[in-house]
Amino acid sequence: MRNLPKSFAGLLNMSYRFPKKGDRLLRKTDDWDTGVSFSSDGISRHVHIWDGYMSAGEALVEDCRRNPQERHFMVYPILFAYRHAIELAMKWILTMYGGYNANDIAHHDLWRLWKLCREVIGAAGDEEATDAVEKIVKEMHDLDKSALAFRYGIDRNNEPPKLPEGLYDPENIRDVMTGVGHFFDGTDGMLSDLAGARA
């Protein structure tokens, strides 16, 4: 221990939290200001998960801004969070307004989901915004066709997933995905209004 490089010596003085007897992942609390609960119905849960992953992507980009050294590690959970959020957004549109059930869309293929989603949105959506979102969905699909590239270091063939080389701007990712998130929120509201008008 005495011969550790200076860069490691500082680590010995850091406070580490190790597992201890009695640890449980879920511990009950009566504090409504800090406690969290799970949604009891599928509709609320889907919306909370969709919104949660969008918020998580945004929070992780913010962490990169505050701690730039984290950005090379955080890019994977950032992109996974956003990818999962748009998958859930499309599945919401298809389930709520397209008449699809969970078994019909039980896959992670963003491009297939988008093609169905575009049909459901139809002429009711803003064409320029819909075209822009289509390009982003296709870009995300091409980066990660099976929802594995941002989750694992190697794929099913024992190869690292192929991702583009070069430097990319995480704040641009957040900005673009904020727009995509707003598109799906607005589309949900628009389709809900149309469904209400037809009822």
Counting the structural domains of the chain, the total is 1
Q: Tens digit of pLDDT for each residue in 94-140?
A: 999 999 998 999 999 999 999 999 999 987 778 999 999 999 999 99
Cα 112–Cα 108–Cα 52 angle in degrees, nearest 5: 115
Task: Kindly state whether residue 167 falls inside one of the protein's structural domains.
Answer: yes
In this structure, is residue 7 part of a structural domain?
A: no
Q: Is residue 23 one of the residues assigned to a domain?
A: no
Q: How far is CA 167 from CA 72, 163, 177, in A?
A: 10, 12, 18
Mean pLDDT of 44-65: 96
- The pLDDT of residue 1 is 44
Q: List, for residues 132-184, the tens digit of each pLDDT value.
A: 999 999 999 999 999 999 999 998 899 999 999 999 999 999 999 999 999 99
Q: What is the pLDDT of residue 19?
A: 93
> Would you say residue 179 lies in a domain?
yes
* Mean pLDDT score of the chain: 92
- From CA 180, how far away is CA 174, in angstroms rounded? 10
Residue 134 within any structural domain of the chain: yes
For residue 27, is it within any domain? no
- CA dihedral defined by 148, 149, 155, 160, rounded to 10 degrees? -170
Backbone angles phi, psi at 167, to 5 degrees: -100, 140
Q: For residue 124, what are the domain limits?
A: 40-198
Q: What is the pTM of this model?
A: 0.88
Q: Is residue 10 part of a domain?
A: no
Q: How many CB atoms lie within 10 A of CB 143?
A: 16
Q: How would DSSP label each residue in 133-175?
A: HHHHHHHHHHH-TTS-TTT-SS-TTSSPPP---S---HHHHHH
Which SS3 state, helix, strand or coil, does residue 101 take?
coil
Distance CA 124, CA 115 (A): 15
Residue 3 domain flag: no
